[in-house]
Structure 1
């Protein structure tokens, strides 16, 4: 099993604080610097506006071909749920430079908590997965009504990746377990800030949480149990606020290696080298 570990987004200004990885780094060099620390990233910008071909070309170049990109579906697919044919065309075609560079990971469909398991929503999800047939699609379903074995069996039948989450213990959401619905696994660790999960005014507030070593060990144990079931596993830490993820990822790597799940640490990539590539 090849394990890719990264963060939710790479344009985190929090990381320019003293002692963190972007200290003294220009914004245009963030991705090149990121590529020296992590081998995967979950692209957040595509949720708000689908980047064009040139933007994706720049991502492949600046990362030196060393980072796998999980591309989040635009909100028109998951929150508005009214995509046009043009939206589908752009979402499918724009990341082509990543495919050509061999660094395209799964698409991520991040549905909101309000997306319950109703007949209408089940039909919508079926239509969406049909439109992305032939591409790896990971689906995060935040309402507990979806957290059922029959849902995962259906996803496995249609080749859809179940996103295994770690949420704060506030109830009403899927349990923190690693579930396998195919050859690729996908984990999103959101932190456990129960005080700000519902009341937080921003994603940074909700994700203001640093895991302790015991919590990282807990996830390493769960990952080790499914090592023989997967060829690839993507693990993304969403707790990027204040650099929490930067501290937690080395903990997780160490815990996985200790359990016989090999995880490598990237070597730093020179900024000029990244530009040339």
Structure 2
């Protein structure tokens, strides 16, 4: 079979072709067909978004809207919406990733629909530097990675003696630090970690340069003195939306904010209902008049994070 008629896998082009430019164009069309269309019967259906489009095609990493702002409203602050991870096996076979799209191409495919991701894997295991370098290399210009601090620091050491642990963490993510693609560092504290202002103040005073945000899961932390402590160091309070944590506030403690959508309360099995998403869209619209917003959906099961994220992106025009 001539090279230009071969079925190319996701993102792969033939090494050589006697037909030259015309074959390369055919290969590009084959790649688009293999990678960009969701499979029939996919869980992420066109009806999953506000105006009937589940996926927006176009330039890699570009959704067709002005990034971070509604057209004609240049005074608005940037807003980035993504998911808490991309490397999920249960997103394959048409749930999000097309059946023939191999795992090594998942980040590339994800970045065609979202301009940011929250990396949860760094919480469980320190990545190798060459893996992080590959994230930087395979993601498009303008893409942003939020990284989650190691659980060794937040859950085992509980913010004590940050020195060597934080240095090791930052050494592993050096390729991101050297690039313009590093976003906030997320510090998620365990639910049984009660308020300790001295320990928090000590940790805040030793933070490396850059943006940092703290997610508290015990209600004792939600107090005015804690908010002021965060403000004094330019750190953001994570707004973690979860029906089992009603004590969560919407307090803003920096010139940017960070939202984590853990589980909807009115949708099916943690899916966010359209009415919930509309409430959040209005809240985010108000915030972005003054501050930059990062927002991530953590309800990855059944592809809910993808559907909810795409709906909110389209609603806000980002």
Decide: shared fold, TM above 0.5: yes
Is the counterpart of residue 86 in structure 1 residue 164 in structure 2? yes
* Structure-2 residue corresponding to 1:181: 253
SS at 2:118 equivalent? strand
Distance (Å, rounded) in 2 between the aligned partners of 1:19 and 1:136 = 33
In 2, are the aligned partners of 1:15 and 1:23 still within 8 Å (CA)? no
Q: Number of matched residues?
A: 239
Indicate the RMSD between aligned Cα atoms, in angstroms. Answer: 2.1
The correspondence for 1:145, drawn from 192, 195, 220, is 220
Q: Relative contact order (alpha carbons < 8 A, sep ≥ 6): 1 or 2 greater?
A: 1
Is the counterpart of residue 112 in structure 1 residue 179 in structure 2? no
SS at 2:83 equivalent? strand
Distance (Å, rounded) in 2 between the aligned partners of 1:218 and 1:150 = 28
Please list every run of at least 4 consecutive aligned residues from structure 1 whose deviation after the TM superposition is greater than 6 angstroms.
none
Change (3 A) 1:145 1:238: same
Shift of the alpha carbon at 1:7? 0.6
Moved more, 103-112 or 23-32: 23-32
Shift of the alpha carbon at 1:73? 0.4
In 1, are the aligned partners of 2:95 and 2:303 still within 8 Å (CA)? no
Shift of the alpha carbon at 1:83? 5.4
Distance (Å, rounded) in 2 between the aligned partners of 1:99 and 1:252 = 29
Moved more, 60-69 or 98-107: 60-69
* Structure-2 residue corresponding to 1:238: 298
Superposition TM-score, scaled by structure 2 size: 0.70
Distance (Å, rounded) in 2 between the aligned partners of 1:19 and 1:92 = 34
Distance (Å, rounded) in 1 between the aligned partners of 2:205 and 2:247 = 26
In 1, are the aligned partners of 2:236 and 2:258 still within 8 Å (CA)? yes
The correspondence for 1:96, drawn from 164, 168, 174, is 174
- In the alignment, structure 1 segments of 5+ residues that lack a partner are 195-206, 258-262, 264-277
In 2, are the aligned partners of 1:210 and 1:248 still within 8 Å (CA)? yes
In 2, are the aligned partners of 1:9 and 1:42 still within 8 Å (CA)? yes
Shift of the alpha carbon at 1:229? 2.2
Moved more, 184-193 or 4-13: 184-193
Shift of the alpha carbon at 1:54? 1.4
Distance (Å, rounded) in 2 between the aligned partners of 1:66 and 1:28 = 20
Distance (Å, rounded) in 2 between the aligned partners of 1:189 and 1:19 = 20
In 2, are the aligned partners of 1:72 and 1:107 still within 8 Å (CA)? yes
In 2, are the aligned partners of 1:50 and 1:74 still within 8 Å (CA)? yes
* Structure-1 residue corresponding to 2:82: 6
- In the alignment, structure 2 segments of 5+ residues that lack a partner are 1-76
Shift of the alpha carbon at 1:224? 1.7
Structure (1 or 2) with the larger CA radius of gyration: 2
Distance (Å, rounded) in 2 between the aligned partners of 1:128 and 1:23 = 45
Distance (Å, rounded) in 2 between the aligned partners of 1:77 and 1:19 = 34
Distance (Å, rounded) in 2 between the aligned partners of 1:64 and 1:24 = 21
SS at 2:263 equivalent? coil
Moved more, 58-67 or 236-245: 58-67
Is the counterpart of residue 228 in structure 1 residue 289 in structure 2? yes
Distance (Å, rounded) in 2 between the aligned partners of 1:139 and 1:174 = 12
Distance (Å, rounded) in 1 between the aligned partners of 2:272 and 2:265 = 10
Superposition TM-score, scaled by structure 1 size: 0.80
* Structure-1 residue corresponding to 2:239: 164
Superimposed CA distance per residue, residues 56-103 of structure 1 (whole angstroms, 9 cap, x where no aligned partner): 111101213442111100001110025563322122232221132210
